[in-house]
Each structure stands twice: as C-alpha cells, then as structure tokens.
Chains A and B, each alone.
Chain A
Amino acid sequence: MTSPVKNLIEIKNLTHDYGSVRALDNVSLEIRENEFFALLGPSGCGKTTLLRILAGFETPLEGSVTLAGQDLISLPANKRPINLMFQSYALFPHMNVGQNVAYGLEREKLPKAEIKSRVEEVLKTVGLQDKVKARPSQLSGGQRQRVALARAIVKRPKLLLLDEPLSALDRKVRSEMQLELKRLQLEVGITFVVVTHDQEEAMSMADRIAVMVEGTVGQVDTPVDLYQRPATAYVGDFIGESNFFDGIIVPEGIKHASLGVLPGNRYGKDISGEAHLLIRPEDLRLAVSGEHSIPTMVQDVQFYGGASTLVLSIEGRSAPILMSQPGATSAQRGALVNLTWDPLKAIVLPRDSRRSAL
C-alpha cells in the first residue's frame, strides 16, 4: 500500500514581470513532499524567477504560493523554512567553513552546544569534517559547493532550492556531484528543487521535471515520460535527440508533403490541421523489403560509446535524420537505405510555431 502523495508546495496562477518582460505567465505547479524536482528550461524561461519567488527575494505581481497549506508570500525571506544554494555559492569570505555553516543556526538563537554538534554532523554528511577551520578561498570548487549545501541543509528546511548546482563544476566532478546530490536528498529526506538549463542534469537526478519555456510550463512529468511521451513539439525537441516531420493530421499519423503518410500515434490528443511527427533516433531501423519505409541516403556514420549514429539525408529536406543503433553498422557513406519504425513509437504532436519548419 503506497502512502498518499502529499503536495508540499502549491503554486497557483503565478505571474511576474522582469523589467518589461513577462517572466512568469499564469504558472501553476505542484511539488510533492520528499521529491527531487527540477525546473528545466533555457535562459529566460522564467525558472530563475520562480526560484527567487519561492526563496522570497521577489514578490510576484499575482498568484499564490502555499507551503503545507500556509501562505508563503506574506513571509519575508528570512522567515521561510526554505533555503537556497546559490549558483555562486555565496560563501561568506571573512568566515571559515564552520562559521559559515553555523551562521544560519546562530540566527535561530540555538544553544552553542547544539549548534556545534549539528555543524559537525552535517559536515560529516558532506564529507568535509576536517575542513572546519578552512577559509572558502582555500577550497576547491566542489568543496565550496558542499559547504554551501551543508550551510543550507543544517537548518533542516522543508524545501531546498538549488540554483544551477552543477554548472560551475568541471565534468568529472559534475558526475560525482550528481550522484552525491541524489544520495543526499534521500538521506536527509528534504524536498529538493533544482533549477537548471542542462537536461542531462535534470534527467539524471530528478523524480519529476517541469519543462519551462517563455514564462510558462510546457509539461511536468517523470524523465521517462517526458522522453517517451512529450506533450508538445517544444518538449519533444528540448529533451533528447529527435527527428521531426511536418504534415497534416490523418488518422494513421501525418501526411507529409513529399513522403506520403507517415504512421504515428497521437495518444489521445485532440489535434486537427497541421501537426508534427516525432521519432527518436533509436526507434528508427533499416527496413526489410515489403515494409512501409522512406528512402534516405547515408551522409555520415559516427561510432561512439559502443553505438553507431547514422546521419541521413532525405531529398527535399535540409535537416538530416539521425538514426542510432547499438554496436557497429555495415552502412557506408553514400549508401541508399530505407528507414522504418514502429508506429507506436512515433508521436504525433500539435503544430508548434516555435519549431522550425521541416
């Protein structure tokens, strides 16, 4: 028997401007208790504005935010049970690690002994117990981030916000930190909300992701569902690699201008008129004779990480088709091959003018 899912944060009809730009346009969202949530989108999509409103550094023009049922907006930032890990870490340069971490507890006027033990405990959790006396300037980027994390976690907030947590780290440290953050979230049992523009980060760490674009929420789903069942062409394009075809909606899929009917599944969506067909590279395969297929020519073959990617061109179309398969391929540059796919794996999506015409 699963315990009922409880919403920790409820965001309703949030609207806010940034200068003359509408940063958030009637955004509504729910974040559940104990989940690892991600706000994903390109710069300017509104994710940072939403983060700052949650943290208390901006008050929105309209809308409501509640935490466990209580109104959040009327609380100033320093009274909210929410903590933020800044993108630049914002460690206090004139204090050492221990003092930085203890700062938030001192603001709560806790007894010195309790502060000391909690600081030690959290530094052990992030693996920095022997750096108590070090100054931020003496630490590496990854260590500084862990101090910033520790400083936020030690207050046991109901919600932990992380602003682009991995962007400042180099690649190797980044993958280590991804695992670390996931482990930490489970261990301390706090709801995490990560803001990022990097889909790999979001997909690998989050339980659920909200894809945002131009101040609105495109889709909120688990990583798998976002990938396999994108609700809009924007989401489908943003997440992972994709091949898009434009056409008119028909019962079997879409009708392409030159390639005829391309089979696909619209998964119950109500679509009429112009539409897109989305196929992931790994869902394409070489056709055997007799199957419905589209003719292509191999432009390039790449082999990386144990898988082959074929770059194929179709007559009359400028954008190449990407097809991937595990292992090596016998296809060669210049060869003519026919491509086919399982109609259930191809997704029909409503027309989105933000997608460039193909």
Chain B
Amino acid sequence: MTSTIPTRVSRDSEKRRDLLERMVLQGPGLLFITIFMATPITLVAIYSIFQRGRFGGIVYKATTENFTRALDPVYLGVLTDSLKIAGITTILAIAIGYPTAYAIAKLPTKWRSIALVLVVMPFWTNFLIRTYSWIMLFNREGLLNHALLKFNIIHTPLDLLYTQSAVVVGLLYGYLPLMILPLYASIERLDPQLGEAAANLGATRTRAFFSLTLPLTASGLIAGSIFVFIPSLGNFIVPELLGGGKTVMVGNLIRDQFLKARDWPFGSVLALSVIALVFIFFMLQNAVEKRFSSDAHD
C-alpha cells in the first residue's frame, strides 16, 4: 500500500537535521550572551538583596536595607537629577537634531553623504577627549570666557564649568550624532509626494508637519531617543569631568560603590534602578510608537 512509514521516517530525519543546524548556528551566540550578559545582570539582581561584608565581599544574608537606603532623599535626589539631566539632554537632542536631520535630507544628493560623514566624524574622536575639550572651553580662564571678555560681552568670567548645564552640554555633545542619524534615515524615506498631496488638499506647512511628517518619522525619533537617553542616564564620565564633585549622577554612585566603597549590594540596587528607569522608558516609547504607527496606517 502506501509508504506512510518511510514518509514519517523521512520527516523525522529532516526535523533532526534542522534541529542540529539550528543548534550549531544559534547555540554558540546564545550561550555567549547567556554567560556574558544574562548571568552578570542576574548576579547584580541577586546581590541587591544581600549584605556587604566587612572587607567588601558579599554576606549571603537576605535583607531589604539596600532598597530602603536607596529611597533615602540623598540617593533619590541623585536618581531624579539623573533622570532630569538625561531627559533634558534627550529633548535638546531632538530640538537640535530634528531640524538638522531635516536640513540634511533637503540637501542636494551629492552634499548629503558629505554632511552625514561630517556629522559622524567627531564621533570617532575618543569620547573622553571630546568631553575634556569642554573643560578647555568652559574653564574660568578657558577659551569661551577668553573670547567673551575680549569682545567685551561680559566683564567678569562666567562660571560655566562644574554645573548641571555643563553636564548637559557634555552629554549632548557626545550623543547628538546618534540622534541625527536615525532621524535622517526615517526622514529620508518619506515620500515627497505626500507633502505635495497635503498642500494640494489645503494644509498649511505647519499643519502638514504635525499631522504628516512627525508621525511618519516617529520610528527614527524613537530610535534616536533611545540612543541618547540610555547612555546619558548611566553616564559617569561627563558628570565627573564637567560636573566636578557638585553634580553627581547615578552612574557616579554606582562606580563609587563598586570600586571605592566596595559595597556591591548597594551598588547593585542602584544599577537595578537604572535598569528599571530604562525599562519604563522603553514602555513609554512602545506606547508612543503604537499610537503613532496606528495613525500612520489609517
């Protein structure tokens, strides 16, 4: 009669070959990520409930004191400051980055790639050096004050360095290209005929922008915001170099707990709070994306 049995055997051996191929391809990578990302993060989560040993190790006795300590106004203040600074940086990045990306997209094709390369090139100088350059500019005897004094715009040097604003400028400077590039990518993909159609239907340019251009470039906006907000939130280099001792962000706290105070459990709680804030940020972005993409598809 039929060869149902050989067919089943063939199907099984095909499935086995597929499984083997899948393991060879995905296995090494996924194992690596499990060991070098998932395990470290899990450790951090685990350490947060334990106690600091006398000489800096871990005492495996569960406690919630690290969490309650994090709620102390001092630390809470640092967390809110970090959120504030990262948030302002992101908003400024959008405010500057969107028009810039738009302007680049409107350039003649030949100039576009040159403009993009120019946007990215500062990025290839070391981040620390770029941050340091603002010390040179903002210092009391620095170039900016030098120039302002020279042209008699001010009469006494400004205290620009070691302020929250200096930190914002430093973060903005470091991550602005990461906002411009994804924004450019999604603006560039816009169909120019849509704008013409809108104008044809009587929309003013501002109305067309808010109802048409903005929603359609939402994905670029979201990507750019992620690339600016997350590194800004956890940053400790810029607050240290440009904020002096006065502006402390959660990144500095974490670094101090892990390397100076050697209080790993408490540092872990702070790290968890960063992860939590990032997670909330993602959820917000998801909601924004859902709202905008459904509008665009209507």
Q: In the complex, is A directly touching B at CB under 8 Å? A: yes
- Enumerate chain A interface residues (CB-CB to B < 8 A): 12-13, 59-64, 71, 73-74, 76
* B10 surroundings in chain A (CB, below 8 A): 59, 73-74
Asked if residues B3 and A64 are in contact (CB atoms below 8 Å), the reply is yes
Asked if residues B2 and A73 are in contact (CB atoms below 8 Å), the reply is no
Interface CB pairs A-B, < 8 A, 25? A12-B2, A59-B10, A59-B11, A59-B14, A60-B7, A61-B7, A61-B11, A62-B2, A62-B7, A63-B3, A63-B7, A64-B3, A64-B6, A64-B7, A71-B3, A71-B6, A73-B3, A73-B6, A73-B7, A73-B10, A74-B6, A74-B9, A74-B10, A76-B14, A76-B17
* B17 surroundings in chain A (CB, below 8 A): 76
CA–CA, A73 to B8, complex, Å?
A: 10
CA–CA, A71 to B4, complex, Å?
A: 12
Task: Determine the residue in chain B with the shortest Cβ distance to A57.
Answer: B14
Among residues 10 to 63 in chain B, which have CB atoms less than 8 Å away from a CB atom of chain A? 10-11, 14, 17
Supposing A73-B7, A74-B9 touch, asked if A63 and B14 sit within 8 A by C-beta, the answer is no
- Enumerate chain B interface residues (CB-CB to A < 8 A): 2-4, 6-7, 9-11, 14, 17
User: What's the nearest-Cβ distance from chain B to residue A223, in Å?
Assistant: 32
Query: With A59-B14, A62-B2, A64-B3 given, can you name 17 additional A-B contacts, CB distance below 8 Å?
Result: A12-B2, A13-B2, A59-B7, A59-B10, A61-B11, A62-B4, A63-B2, A63-B4, A64-B2, A71-B3, A73-B6, A73-B7, A73-B10, A74-B6, A74-B9, A76-B14, A76-B17
* A64 surroundings in chain B (CB, below 8 A): 2-3, 6-7
CA–CA, A256 to B236, complex, Å?
A: 90
* A60 surroundings in chain B (CB, below 8 A): 7
CA–CA, A74 to B11, complex, Å?
A: 9
CA–CA, A13 to B2, complex, Å?
A: 8
CA–CA, A335 to B2, complex, Å?
A: 61
User: What's the nearest-Cβ distance from chain A to residue B16, in Å?
Assistant: 12
* B7 surroundings in chain A (CB, below 8 A): 59-64, 73
User: What's the nearest-Cβ distance from chain B to residue A139, in Å?
Assistant: 28
CA–CA, A12 to B1, complex, Å?
A: 9
CA–CA, A71 to B10, complex, Å?
A: 11
For B4, B6, B7, B10, the residue with the greatest tally of chain A CB atoms inside 10 Å of its CB is: B7
* B6 surroundings in chain A (CB, below 8 A): 64, 71, 73-74
